A and B are shown apart, each in its own frame.
Chain A
């Protein structure tokens, strides 16, 4: 049996009438609230349309490109290894190696940066504030932007790619480490100081044991991220899988593009699972 729900409170529905008298706004929104809702929606639509105009986003452009995109997608099947599966596998591992080096160097370099930005280690508020703002500003710079200038300055190949990964990660990791250091339990350090331990010993036996799990699990998380970054830096000449992909996109070898992309997706999946397992053991 279904019950018809009247849209408006009418005389024959006592419950609705009661509800209407108790909480009128639950049955009928006040006019100004409904108007405000419509106004906001209209404003949003207007901004959206202006933005679309700014981008020359028209149906003609979209349908024109969609045809070409369909051709590309059709050319992707069946995926082909281009007769060099071992080489492609090697490039995947090379990309991973770039991520490993970039992550390890960035995590090491970010430690002093994080210490400088930690409030409980650097008590000078001006220095603390300045470093924090600096990190905040450069945290948003994507790896591709660093990669472009590193390739221009230091030539093609994996080294500028790794440098770009390091430059991207230092502000991000520095902020995380600074926060981790600020959350360190002071009592452990205090009890060490009571035993007469010096500054370095306090850092080694009081701060480090508390920091290490956080630090390692962040390393692993950034390794996952950097495997993706390492694939991106290649597009502007930073080596690794991105370089192979952009070469093949430029010559429209989409069957090989599909193969490499699938290979890469599998590799990312494997790395994510492995690092999740490692992280679960750490914490």
Chain B
């Protein structure tokens, strides 16, 4: 492109041409990308059958009536009146004691599910970490198991467990155990693969067996990180547990299901706010704990 004689007379025009060429090519690429994305989107709309879905009365009216039914009709003058008065906060949260009871079951579900699932994941993770387990076949088996446990939708698992163990909290706990084993197993084994191996070598040098190498070489250095993952999962499991009740796994989700079966959308919103509030409080506590743990590891 540059003129050979070293004069700068033509270069400006050349640059202009080159610039135009690049601009054109850039626009072509953008156009092709845009076309591809539009095709994917149009295909998706077609495939999902979303376009066939028509609503009588039009979407605007439907959404408006939905929002009207969702929001409680609170009256300012009766806000703090008792449950019987319509328009009061107490009448909006009319079943609060029972919801709190159900929330307690949900929290217990999340706790037991995370503890048991975390323990299973902790044991299995040693067999899924390539630096600790040199048996490739066993390692792949455990890893694929984790993958499957993570991929199967939790609501499907809950349905299957609910039809085997009857509807209730037991089905929810079992679902949480499977899902937690999958997700924590992956995280734990990846964390273990980054462990300092010198400490294992040191234990081995004193004549320790595999179990002692893990107990004194790996566990002390990894425990704070694993515990922090575990607490994070506890937070996630709390919201999962709240949702699973919807498909028959006990806890606060059952109350959501009940509100829907009476089409009381404002009650639904009240329970949703209660769930969200509980999750927020417990998350804050667990976040403190996690920072404490990670801070402790830094010393």
Decide if A and B are genuine partners.
Answer: yes
Give chain A's interface residues, CB within 8 Å of chain B: 2-3, 5, 47-48, 50-52, 54-57, 61-62, 64-66, 68-69, 72, 90, 93-94, 96-98, 100-101, 104, 136-138, 140-145, 148-149, 152-155, 157-159, 162, 228, 231-232, 235-236, 239-240, 242, 245-246, 249-250, 252, 257, 261, 264-265, 268-269
What are 7 sample pairs from A and B whose C-beta atoms fall under 8 A apart?
Answer: A68-B165, A93-B47, A142-B240, A145-B256, A148-B260, A264-B152, A265-B152
A55 partner, pick from B41, B48, B173, B276, beta carbons under 8 A? B173
B164 with A72: CB separation less than 8 A: yes
Chain A residues near B276 (CB-CB < 8 A): 137-138, 140-141
A242 with B168: CB separation less than 8 A: no
Does B153 reach chain A (CB closer than 8 Å)? yes
B280 partner, pick from A62, A140, A142, A232, beta carbons under 8 A? A140
Which partner residue on chain A sits nearest B235 by CB separation? A140
A170 CB to nearest chain B CB (Å): 15
Please name 4 further chain A to chain B contacts, defined as beta carbons within 8 Å, in addition to the given A144-B155, A261-B156, sorted by A numbering: A98-B48, A141-B272, A152-B263, A158-B50
A136 partner, pick from B108, B115, B235, B280, beta carbons under 8 A? B280
Which partner residue on chain A sits nearest B279 by CB separation? A140
A162 with B105: CB separation less than 8 A: no
B48 with A101: CB separation less than 8 A: yes
Chain A residues near B160 (CB-CB < 8 A): 69, 72, 249, 257
Chain A residues near B275 (CB-CB < 8 A): 141, 145
Contact with A along B225-263 (1 / 0, CB 8 A): 000000000010011101110110010010011001001
CA distance in complex: A136, B284 (Å):
11
A101 with B239: CB separation less than 8 A: no
Give chain B's interface residues, CB within 8 Å of chain A: 40-41, 43-50, 53, 55, 62, 66, 69-70, 104-105, 108-109, 111-112, 115, 147-148, 151-156, 159-161, 163-166, 168-170, 173, 206-207, 235, 238-240, 242-244, 246-247, 250, 253, 256-257, 260, 263, 265, 268, 272, 275-277, 279-280, 283
B155 CB to nearest chain A CB (Å): 4
CA distance in complex: A145, B260 (Å):
11
CA distance in complex: A138, B280 (Å):
9
Which partner residue on chain B sits nearest A153 by CB separation? B66
Chain B residues near A236 (CB-CB < 8 A): 155, 246-247
B53 with A158: CB separation less than 8 A: yes
A231 with B165: CB separation less than 8 A: no
B260 with A149: CB separation less than 8 A: yes
B49 with A3: CB separation less than 8 A: no
A2 CB to nearest chain B CB (Å): 5
B47 with A265: CB separation less than 8 A: no
